[in-house]
Structure 1
């Protein structure tokens, strides 16, 4: 490829604009239009082709709906009731509040589909609970909350999995199912680490919740606990598509928070709508830029060229998966996860298919990699969020999160090399991959 080729010039343009502070979505659109003009292609015809291909695709509608559902859960009392429920059952053990943090993330993961929503929604409450009376250091509480929030997009619903389905044509329903066991595995890995750390650092034992109070706490949390059941039951019962399930999740969160719990004011509801619109617009612009750039990449035949190059290296499927893990983990340190998912992954998908890698297994592995990028410095978005919430220094949080990162990497290795961890549950529901 010539240094002065339209594609090279477009890449340089995108890089320069991104470094100058232009949002990556806008930079990709500008660079891609520059490529089309230099290559003599009509931008109007390209836009028409992209729009025609999207008219029958409703996958992207799930993204703003899941975001809105997460916003409603954060402003209502659903999260507080879930925390009380988790504390009643696992808070009584040594390091109990740390275990509560992990369990609530596993449960909340079945509702929000977003790691950022998980950290922002329950992070502040967990930070206050864990640091009260000096039980845990602020940096340890923040590190644990950031690490557990990673589970959010692994257990369904999952916004990153929706985006992966957009670029790979994999089934969203089976992707959701494929994330259940890996998500629980990641939670268990961190719970085992907390048990070990609690004994070594002599973490406090919380006052047990009396048994007679358990039924009442469970009843109060029951409507919130039913949300994953409604969501997943609707999808796998054949009642609704994943996109319709996203609408059902938003409607259910609205009914529970506003009508049943009566914990949301009109002002809070308006603010949540605005926040959801801003987040959706931001992701939508990135998706738009990625779609145009992916068209450019396809015109340049880069995915097929990469697949042919790797085939010439006689690379096995396992070697390819190891290479993908390394690439994504490195990129996750410096790039935003959605950008990786929409720009880098489409280039890797044809090679994965050519090597016989299952697309559901590949998708879950990719999403786990991208989520780990949220807790790896220097970019780690969740680290910045928890630094702001906790007041602890970034250096202290990074120090305390390293053991959890090791536990998550062990879980990633198992997910990579033992595909049945991902595929067992989808196959119980008829998946033939």
Structure 2
């Protein structure tokens, strides 16, 4: 590699701008402009790629709509009702509130699709509940909250899987349903670990909710629990496109919050719209930067070069996936997940497909990798967020995080080695890959 080539200088510029605090999306646009200038190419290509990439993709509209649905459901009383439902189901198990923490991440998956949003929202609430009266240590609670937050983006609706569908051309419907079993398995292994640690450390158990109260609690939570059912039902029956399903999810969230639960007013709705707009804009800028930089990568012919390089090692599909696991786990420690999906995966995917790796299986494995990277020391973004939320040192959090990393990496290995677990439900829905 020529370290003074236009491409190398563009990478240096992106790195320097990022270190100076410039958002990654804008840094990628700046580096791409520098590359086109040094190559003597028309710098108007940047605007062309931005417009063609963002305005020609109907799928991109699904992202702000999913975010809006999540924000609306998180604004009213939906979260409280779902939390009561989770507590009624597993609160009386060993490590009661810790079990609730994991289950609520599974249930709340339909409300976010983002690990960072889960940790900042319902995760913060669980941190307060579990550490009250010193029932659980702040370090364990923060580690559990961080670990359980990675479950949501594997289950539908998943913003990372929407982004992967954007760059890979894979069906978002098949990707959503492919994430169901791996997401549930991730929740199951975490709950199993909590059960083991609860017995070992004598964690408290919550009082069992009387059986006569369960119907009322379930009835209160049922409309919110139906959101993913409505979403997936519309997708797989062909009633709506993914973007239309996202719009339906937002409308459904608004209807049950306003008409059924009557838990939000005009001021709350305005705040939800403003919050979702801010999040959508930040993701949009990142996507725009990635689209421009991906053009640079294509001009440099990097995907074909990398494909030829890896092909020279005569790798098997499994060997390639194991290599990708290592690469993405390392990158996940230092890069934001959306950046990896938009910039790194388009480079790796052609090689995988050429070797016979199924693109749906690859997408689920990659997203699970990236999510685990968020809680992997030393630079996992969720770790830094939880140290601030829990007001603890990074060392304390990392010590408590180790057992969760072990079981999550074990789950990742199973998903990698057993493609049929990922592809079983999509094939039932008609997928032929």
For 2:261 and 2:294, locate their aligned partners in 1 and report how far apart those are by CA, in whole Å.
45
For 2:115 and 2:160, locate their aligned partners in 1 and report how far apart those are by CA, in whole Å.
10
The 8 Å contact of residues 337 and 371 in structure 2, kept in 1 or not, is answered as yes
In structure 2, the residue matched to 1:170 is 170
Aligned residue-pair number: 433
The 8 Å contact of residues 25 and 285 in structure 1, kept in 2 or not, is answered as yes
Q: Secondary structure at the match of 1:43?
A: coil
User: How far is the alpha carbon of 1:49 from its aligned partner?
Assistant: 5.4
For 2:31 and 2:117, locate their aligned partners in 1 and report how far apart those are by CA, in whole Å.
31
Q: TM-score, length-normalised on structure 2?
A: 0.97
In structure 1, the residue matched to 2:17 is 17
In structure 2, the residue matched to 1:33 is 33
Residue 359, structure 1, aligned to residue 351, structure 2 = no
Residue 243, structure 1, aligned to residue 243, structure 2 = yes
In structure 1, the residue matched to 2:302 is 302
Report matched runs for 1:411-422 at 5 Å: 411-422=411-422
For 1:310 and 1:124, locate their aligned partners in 2 and report how far apart those are by CA, in whole Å.
43
In structure 2, the residue matched to 1:183 is 183
User: How far is the alpha carbon of 1:256 from its aligned partner?
Assistant: 1.6
Q: TM-score, length-normalised on structure 1?
A: 0.97
User: How far is the alpha carbon of 1:70 from its aligned partner?
Assistant: 1.4
Q: Secondary structure at the match of 1:224?
A: helix
The 8 Å contact of residues 92 and 208 in structure 1, kept in 2 or not, is answered as yes
In structure 1, the residue matched to 2:322 is 322
For 2:371 and 2:24, locate their aligned partners in 1 and report how far apart those are by CA, in whole Å.
19
User: How far is the alpha carbon of 1:380 from its aligned partner?
Assistant: 2.1
In structure 2, the residue matched to 1:84 is 84
The 8 Å contact of residues 70 and 117 in structure 1, kept in 2 or not, is answered as no
The 8 Å contact of residues 144 and 401 in structure 2, kept in 1 or not, is answered as yes
In structure 1, the residue matched to 2:5 is 5
In structure 2, the residue matched to 1:231 is 231
In structure 1, the residue matched to 2:57 is 57
CA deviations over 1:264-294 (Å, ceiling 9, x no partner):
2333322222221111111111111110010
Report matched runs for 1:41-190 at 5 Å: 41-45=41-45, 47-48=47-48, 51-52=51-52, 54-190=54-190
For 1:259 and 1:421, locate their aligned partners in 2 and report how far apart those are by CA, in whole Å.
39
CA deviations over 1:139-188 (Å, ceiling 9, x no partner):
21121111111001101100000111111111111000110000001011
The 8 Å contact of residues 79 and 121 in structure 1, kept in 2 or not, is answered as no
Report matched runs for 1:362-401 at 5 Å: 362-401=362-401
The 8 Å contact of residues 123 and 386 in structure 1, kept in 2 or not, is answered as no
Return 5+ residue gaps in structure 1 as ranges: none
CA deviations over 1:284-311 (Å, ceiling 9, x no partner):
1111111001001001100001001111
Q: Secondary structure at the match of 1:409?
A: helix
In structure 2, the residue matched to 1:405 is 405
The 8 Å contact of residues 18 and 24 in structure 1, kept in 2 or not, is answered as yes
Q: Secondary structure at the match of 1:142?
A: helix
CA deviations over 1:191-220 (Å, ceiling 9, x no partner):
111111111001112111100000011111
Return 5+ residue gaps in structure 2 as ranges: none
The 8 Å contact of residues 123 and 389 in structure 1, kept in 2 or not, is answered as no
The 8 Å contact of residues 111 and 228 in structure 1, kept in 2 or not, is answered as no
For 1:339 and 1:295, locate their aligned partners in 2 and report how far apart those are by CA, in whole Å.
15
Distance 1:53 1:292, change over 3 A: closer
The 8 Å contact of residues 68 and 272 in structure 2, kept in 1 or not, is answered as yes
Distance 1:45 1:93, change over 3 A: closer
User: How far is the alpha carbon of 1:46 from its aligned partner?
Assistant: 5.4
CA deviations over 1:312-340 (Å, ceiling 9, x no partner):
11111111111111011111111111111
User: How far is the alpha carbon of 1:237 from its aligned partner?
Assistant: 1.5
In structure 2, the residue matched to 1:432 is 432
For 1:396 and 1:424, locate their aligned partners in 2 and report how far apart those are by CA, in whole Å.
40
Q: Secondary structure at the match of 1:264?
A: coil
